[in-house]
């Protein structure tokens, strides 16, 4: 998709004529407040410190807020990320932010696209649809710039008194013992120290935490350079993703167009080898170049332009003692990887925070945090492999590789199978954790697309009060057991008693009764699958139940309810060894 972070070679801020804004968006300025312990001249101790206030860091702070865990977030700036960053928000990220209470605002503000077109010059090679499997609340992708997401999350954090966002707090030193992490932080008032039980290091590609703790960042760099520009344009085009090989409107081997909210176009193109990066990002030269792209009839204004290369790297282990690396600090991906950079960072956090909350609460052993590594490293590796592949297709590194790609591009217009080889980034989909040790393998026979370890499938439901709603929105952050019965009246009394007992367990399990249609006096926790979509996707027969983890992934499922089986699966998902 579009550039996440990359390694900017040259970056110019928005036009001087339009300072501190992108389209209608005004960059917020967050107040710096002298931290309490700095003022008091003592060392504070906090259960969780989040380093970095980008997509991953702010998602972490909000998730900790929702879960009632106190947290201090440190950011070296006092506003949100300036333009030219992540714009493609995947369905799974949107579901996560919906759980945190921000989904509706994002949906209202973003632009969804459901079709992508890949062209060579004027010729259409391949048009693809992002057709969902059934109905669901969020589209496969929503175009909404990172600065909106971060603003919404920062606003949401204000609802939680135990969450403290500290702006203009830059980490300059970090070390750890078995017992805690020590951070040295520079503010406008000087340097102060704090201690943390746990640190989430979400401080980006050039992570200070990585450097201070001497954690390697392994992988390789790519030499191709790309220009990424956010341009306010006086016209609009249909909400489709446009990718050109050998575009006719710009002197480049490829170009990519997305339409963002408020009339801003994201334009990416590859810099030719002989071009100078500084020159390409120079506002006047860029303006002259884009004037030839847009022509005299179209008004445009450059909001942000940068030239970057990218690396594909990761840290060897995401858990380093008491420090959990997440997002770009943990793994860097190709900007053409299908929107995997920002979105995989959000999924890192979704995977990590509930585990941290249980460990802090004394309800799970701290080895549960090793599963963060076990579950997210394979996902990062898959994303890296996909990054390598799409990068090689988009910018072949040898003559034979270019020849193979040329074969695909020549065949594609007329030969259907060849289109499947066109790889301009395999779009981010929710990671599956099927091989995770936390997942209870099936003991029964199941059909359908889902398996334990998968992210939830969404679908429409009717609530007890008769409102239209969605399933995933009702998986609210703890363990949830979804039990299917045709009618609520058909549920055995003993089952009801057992479900009530589960809700009182040390790690409580909430219950959601999925009926085929609402009865006359439905219970509060009853949802009706009127369309049958959920029964089909989850392969539900009467009496079947599905256990969702606090991050909504499927932990286990059974054809029939058994309270001890549910308790065993919860213990397993909480990292207790299974006998």
> By CB under 8 A, what part of segment 100-119 binds another protein?
115, 117, 119
Query: Does 198 participate in binding another protein (rule CB under 8 A)?
Result: no
Contact window for another protein (CB under 8 A) among 52-60, 241-249, 334-342, 542-550: 241-249
The token duo for 232 is: 């306010």
103 or 338: CB nearest another protein: 338
Confirm if 560 and 566 have CB atoms less than 8 A apart. no
**Helices 55-66 + 91-99 axis angle, to 10:** 40
Query: Does 403 participate in binding another protein (rule CB under 8 A)?
Result: yes
Query: Does 420 participate in binding another protein (rule CB under 8 A)?
Result: yes
Among 412, 415, 428, 392, smallest CA distance to 117 is for 412
36 or 403: CB nearest another protein: 403
The token duo for 527 is: 């949802």
The residue ranges of DSSP E strands in 373-467, in sequence order, are 460-462
Q: Which of 31, 274, 284, 297 binds another protein (CB under 8 A)?
A: 297
Query: Does 272 participate in binding another protein (rule CB under 8 A)?
Result: no
Q: Quickly tell me which residue has 């959000």 as its tokens.
A: 346
95 or 392: CB nearest another protein: 392
How many C-beta atoms surround the C-beta of residue 121 within 10 A? Answer: 10
Q: Which of 36, 40, 127, 500 binds another protein (CB under 8 A)?
A: 127
Q: Which of 10, 18, 411, 563 binds another protein (CB under 8 A)?
A: 411
Q: Which of 144, 165, 242, 512 binds another protein (CB under 8 A)?
A: 242
Binding mask 422-461 for another protein (x = CB under 8 A): -x--x-----------------------------------
What distance in Å separates the CA atoms of residue 374 and residue 403, rounded to the nearest whole number? Answer: 39
Query: Does 120 participate in binding another protein (rule CB under 8 A)?
Result: yes
140 or 267: CB nearest another protein: 267
Rounded to 5 degrees, what are φ and ψ at 86?
A: -60, 130
Among 558, 118, 85, 527, smallest CA distance to 339 is for 85
The token duo for 283 is: 């506002």
Q: Quickly tell me which residue has 């080889």 as its tokens.
A: 421
What distance in Å separates the CA atoms of residue 472 and residue 475, rounded to the nearest whole number? Answer: 5
Q: Quickly tell me which residue has 């941290």 as its tokens.
A: 356
39 or 248: CB nearest another protein: 248
What distance in Å separates the CA atoms of residue 32 and residue 55, rounded to the nearest whole number? Answer: 20
The pairing of strands 71-74 and 44-51 is parallel
Query: Does 287 participate in binding another protein (rule CB under 8 A)?
Result: no
Q: Which of 27, 30, 128, 294 binds another protein (CB under 8 A)?
A: 294
Contact window for another protein (CB under 8 A) among 346-354, 390-398, 483-491, 557-565: 390-398
Using DSSP, state whether 133 is helix, strand or coil. coil
Nearest 5°: the CA angle 81, 85, 89 is 105
Q: Which of 36, 40, 43, 124 binds another protein (CB under 8 A)?
A: 124
Contact window for another protein (CB under 8 A) among 246-254, 322-330, 368-376, 485-493: 246-254
Number of residues that bind another protein (CB under 8 A): 51
Query: Does 235 participate in binding another protein (rule CB under 8 A)?
Result: yes
Among 576, 571, 6, 66, smallest CA distance to 349 is for 66
We find the least distance from the C-beta atom of residue 395 to another protein, in angstroms, to be 13
| Rounded CA Rg of the chain | 25
What residues make contact with another protein under the rule CB under 8 A?
115, 117, 119-124, 127, 235-238, 240, 242, 244, 246-250, 257, 292-295, 297-298, 389, 392-393, 398-401, 403-404, 408-417, 420-421, 423, 426
């Amino acid at each position: 998709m579009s550039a996440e972070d990359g390694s900017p070679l040259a970056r110019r801020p928005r036009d001087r004529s339009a300072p501190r804004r992108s389209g209608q968006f005004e960059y917020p300025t967050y107040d710096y407040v002298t931290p309490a312990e700095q003022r008091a001249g003592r060392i504070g101790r906090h259960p969780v410190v989040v380093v970095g206030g980008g997509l991953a860091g702010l998602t972490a702070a909000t998730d900790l807020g929702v879960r009632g865990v106190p947290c201090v977030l440190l950011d070296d700036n006092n506003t949100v990320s300036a333009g030219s960053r992540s714009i493609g928000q995947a369905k799974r990220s949107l579901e996560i932010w919906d759980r945190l209470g921000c989904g509706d605002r994002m949906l209202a503000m973003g632009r969804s696209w459901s079709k992508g077109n890949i062209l060579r010059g004027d010729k259409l090679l391949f048009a693809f649809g992002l057709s969902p499997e059934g109905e669901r609340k969020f589209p496969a992708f929503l175009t909404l710039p990172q600065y909106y997401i971060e603003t919404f999350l920062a606003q949401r954090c204000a609802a939680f008194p135990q969450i403290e966002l500290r702006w203009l707090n830059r980490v300059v030193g970090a070390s750890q013992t078995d017992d805690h992490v020590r951070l040295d932080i520079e503010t406008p008032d000087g340097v102060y120290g704090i201690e943390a039980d746990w640190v989430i290091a979400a401080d980006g590609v050039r992570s200070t935490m990585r450097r201070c703790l001497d954690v390697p960042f392994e992988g390789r760099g790519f030499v191709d350079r790309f220009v990424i520009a956010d341009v306010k344009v006086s016209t609009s085009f249909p909400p489709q993703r446009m990718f050109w090989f050998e575009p006719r409107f710009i002197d480049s081997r490829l170009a990519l167009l997305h339409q963002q909210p408020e009339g801003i176009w994201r334009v990416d193109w590859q810099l030719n080898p002989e071009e100078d990066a500084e020159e390409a990002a120079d506002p006047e030269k860029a303006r002259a170049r884009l004037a030839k792209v847009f022509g005299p009839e179209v008004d445009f204004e450059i909001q942000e332009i940068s030239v970057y290369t990218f690396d594909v790297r990761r840290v060897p282990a995401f858990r380093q003692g008491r420090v959990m690396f997440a997002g770009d600090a943990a793994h860097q991906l190709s900007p053409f990887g299908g929107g995997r950079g920002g979105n995989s960072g959000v999924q890192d956090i979704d995977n990590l925070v509930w585990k941290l909350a249980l460990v802090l609460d004394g309800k799970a052993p701290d080895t549960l945090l090793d599963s963060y590594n076990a579950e997210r490293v394979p996902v990062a590796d898959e994303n890296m492999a996909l990054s390598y592949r799409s990068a090689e297709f988009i910018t072949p590194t040898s003559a034979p590789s270019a020849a193979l790609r040329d074969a695909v591009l020549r065949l594609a217009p007329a030969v259907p199978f060849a289109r499947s080889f066109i790889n301009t980034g395999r779009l981010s989909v929710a990671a599956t954790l099927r091989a995770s040790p936390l997942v209870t393998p099936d003991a029964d026979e199941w059909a359908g697309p889902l398996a334990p370890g998968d992210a939830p499938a969404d679908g429409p439901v009717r609530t007890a009060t008769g409102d239209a709603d969605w399933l995933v929105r009702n998986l609210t952050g703890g363990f949830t057991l979804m039990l299917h019965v045709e009618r609520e009246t058909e549920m055995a009394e003993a089952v009801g008693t057992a479900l009530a007992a589960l809700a009182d367990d040390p790690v409580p399990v909430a219950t959601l009764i999925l009926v085929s249609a609402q009865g006359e006096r439905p219970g509060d926790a009853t949802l009706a699958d009127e369309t049958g979509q959920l029964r089909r996707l989850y392969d539900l027969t009467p009496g079947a139940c599905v256990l969702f983890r606090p991050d909504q992934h499927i932990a286990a499922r059974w054809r029939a309810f058994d309270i001890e089986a549910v308790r065993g699966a919860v213990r397993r998902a909480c990292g207790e060894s299974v006998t």
